[in-house]
Structure 1
Amino acid sequence: MIFEERDYHIRPGKLATFVAAYRDHGLEIQKKYLGTFISYFTTEVGELNHVVALWGYEGLDDRMARRKRMLADPDWQAYLARVDGLIERQNTRILTPVDFSPLQ
């Protein structure tokens, strides 16, 4: 199993708007297509206006196939239009758990 960490830097003052849009319009679409939803986080200390999403997949091919199907969904495209202009930048990392990790 692999894990994807999606790290969003949100425009100042727009964090609540972004999180609400995701909760109300994005999450269910992603759950329909993507792998295992692990969690969604915001920051309280340190770098603010920051959101981290964690998803689990069987492997890179699984991730690519699932994301391709999701990107073709018109509802996902409508969600992307809702959050257009709210994200300053995004980083994505693929994480592989070590042999003693509880997440395998």
Structure 2
Amino acid sequence: MIFEQRTYTITHGRMEDYLERYERDALPLQRKYLGRLLGFFLSEIGPLNQVVHIWVYDSFSDREQRRLALEADQAWQAFKVSNRGTFVAQEVKILTPASFCPIHI
């Protein structure tokens, strides 16, 4: 099992707009193709204007297949166009749980 942590820094003043568009347009597609959303978080202390998504996959291969299917969807492509200019930065990490990790999915 692997965890993908995606951190996006949103342009100042655009968070509310992003969250509305994301929940309406992107989240249903991501749930359809990517499957297991562990969490979606907003930063309050430290770097501000950030959202963090954590997705769970069975393997790197599972992640690759699911993301390719998402990328092939025209509705996802339309969301990406509508999202241009929203992010200041993006960081993606692949995390593997330690043997004693308390998360059981």
> What interval of TM-score do these two structures reach, taking the shorter chain for normalisation?
over 0.9
| CA offsets 1:60-82 (integer angstroms, 9 cap, x no match) | 00000100010010010111112
The list of structure 1 runs, each at least 4 consecutive aligned residues, that deviate by more than 2 angstroms after superposition, is none
TM-score, with length taken from structure 2: 0.95
Deviations 1:25-81 (A, max 9, x none): 100000000031111111112211101000000010000010001001001011111
Answer whether contact 1:2 1:58 (CA < 8 A) is retained: yes
TM-score after normalising by structure 1: 0.96
Q: Partner of 2:14 in structure 1?
A: 14
- Judge conservation of contact 1:35–1:63 (CA < 8 Å) in 2: no
| Alpha-carbon distance between aligned partners in 1 of 2:44 and 2:16, rounded to the nearest angstrom | 13
Gaps in structure 1 of 5+ consecutive residues: none
Q: Structure 2: any 5+ residue segments left out of the alignment?
A: none
Superposed CA RMSD: 0.9
Size of the aligned set, in residue pairs, is: 104
